[in-house]
A and B are shown apart, each in its own frame.
Chain A
């Protein structure tokens, strides 16, 4: 009992070790993997993220008739390992260091963008 007394007194005199969370928030760490985003303008719909994803939460489809591609991610199945970010050839995938807000509905992240011609072909045309 007496062994703990100095610690108890110290705790009484020092400030609280917890935070008033929703009011007072801590700055996120720079490397924290919070939420996955895709900069769809840079995406070339190569499906590399879909193949590398361990939880198989990313689906990429291409529609050649309309010239558009769709990138769909299930944020509730995503494990935020950032393997897809490491393997993205154009760097269009990135992580934000702020975690996702809670949601009452299960919604998918769906983004549609134009399929760009490969760079080599674009150069040849010029």
Chain B
């Protein structure tokens, strides 16, 4: 049988963002996948030359349209460490609350998109309806649904009132109850299992060798989570990474589903332990030195390299995002799968292309 090259993307119904993969197909079986990126490159790292290090917070927030708060948190942590600023405990807890809320809404978004990828529109709607609760919390507490703009160098800009805390707890509880109602559908439905179990298998060794990150890595049985580095308030919060051993699409979706419930628990723990005090430390001077900071984003490990030379403009900001790390493992998953399974496999790494290209 002759080989055919079928282009997948950059425009495809299941893709929220433009990723192009050339699929070399023989008898509807994928033999090889060649990725092509560069459709949404915006040059955000270059902006460090004309925006000062405070203004860069708003720039790095726009690297990703889903996990914006975690990007700015990672950047601020880096600058604070260079300048030796001690962040107030309350600010660290607030950052943790917002970052976990972001993880929740990102995973709910993905679970919906994943259901859409195998053609389960009703489930997609259910997940996105639950997600609205989290978006409302973001809007009411920070002033914006996605791009929260709460992080500043030295702390946060907004505080939570006791009424807000109790409202967040009740909303999160309702969301958890609603998620558990559709737990059986996403985890044990016959059609869902038929489309995801044993599809796109990535073994533990492959995941480690190709440098997978986040739920893709944990779905293959490696217990790696940057929250174990104890940044922000994670040193005082009970936390265990969620691991599934199978390495197929089902394992990756289970990891994300369980992480959604875990994030709800982390939000509750952070609110319970929220200390009193200031929400921001004063910040004077300019950063001088270089640093690497890492945080766990919904999609995996995110790494920031920041270099400053005592001027208000930084010399270099380098961002390594989790989807960039997950593309080589994706290329290892695709060969020998059926053409019809390609959308499910590509979605299973939770691709965020605007993150990857920045």
Measured CB to CB, the residues of A under 8 A from B are 1, 3-4, 6-8, 17, 29-33, 52-55, 79-83, 86, 95
Q: How many A-B residue pairs have CB under 8 A?
A: 59
Between-chain CB contacts (< 8 Å), 7 pairs: A7-B185, A29-B143, A30-B140, A31-B158, A32-B144, A33-B143, A82-B149
- Known contacts A7-B182, A8-B122; is-contact A82 B143 (Cβ 8 Å): yes
- Is B51 on the interface with A (CB-CB < 8 A)? yes
Residues from 105 to 146 in B contacting A, C-beta threshold 8 Å: 122-123, 126, 129, 132, 136, 139-144
Give the interface size bracket for B toward A.
20 to 34
Binding site for A on B (CB under 8 A): 51, 54-55, 57-59, 122-123, 126, 129, 132, 136, 139-144, 147, 149, 157-158, 181-182, 184-185, 188-191
B189-A3 in contact (CB<8A): yes
Given A31-B140, A33-B144: 13 more A-B contacts, CB < 8 Å:
A1-B189, A3-B185, A6-B181, A7-B126, A29-B140, A30-B140, A31-B139, A32-B143, A54-B51, A80-B144, A82-B143, A83-B149, A95-B143
Whole-angstrom CA separation of A55 from B56 in the bound complex = 10
Cβ–Cβ contact A3 & B188, under 8 A: yes
Q: How far is the CB of B167 from chain A (nearest CB, A)?
A: 11
Most chain B beta-carbon contacts within 10 A, residue among A7, A79, A81 = A81
Name the prevailing secondary structure of the A interface residues. Answer: loop
Task: Give the docked Cα–Cα distance between A32 and B132 (Å).
Answer: 16
Give the shortest distance, in Å, between A78 (CB) and chain B (any CB): 11
Q: Which residue of B lies closest to A29 (CB)?
A: B140
Closest 8 CB pairs of A and B: A54-B58, A54-B55, A29-B140, A33-B143, A3-B184, A81-B149, A31-B143, A3-B185
A31 touches B182 (CB 8 A): no
Cβ contact of A86, chosen from B126, B147, B157, B190, cutoff 8 A: B157
Given A4-B189, A17-B129, A31-B158, residue A52 in contact with residue B143 (CB < 8 A): no
Chain A residues whose CB sits within 8 angstroms of the CB of B144 once the complex forms: 32-33, 80
Contact of B58 among A8, A29, A83 (CB under 8 A): A83
Q: Which residues of A contact B188 (CB under 8 A)?
A: 3
Give the chain B neighbours of A81 by CB distance below 8 A. 58, 147, 149
* B140, A79: Cβ atoms closer than 8 Å: no
CB closest chain-B residue, reference A30: B140
Question: Known interface pairs A4-B123, A7-B181, A82-B149. Does A29 touch B139 (Cβ–Cβ under 8 Å)?
Answer: yes
Chain A residues contacting B140 (CB-CB under 8 Å) are 29-32
B126 neighbours in A (Cβ, 8 Å): 7
In the bound complex, what is the Cα–Cα distance between A7 and B51 (angstroms)?
Answer: 50
Residues in A neighbouring B122, C-beta threshold 8 A? 4, 8
Cβ contact within 8 Å between B185 and A31? no
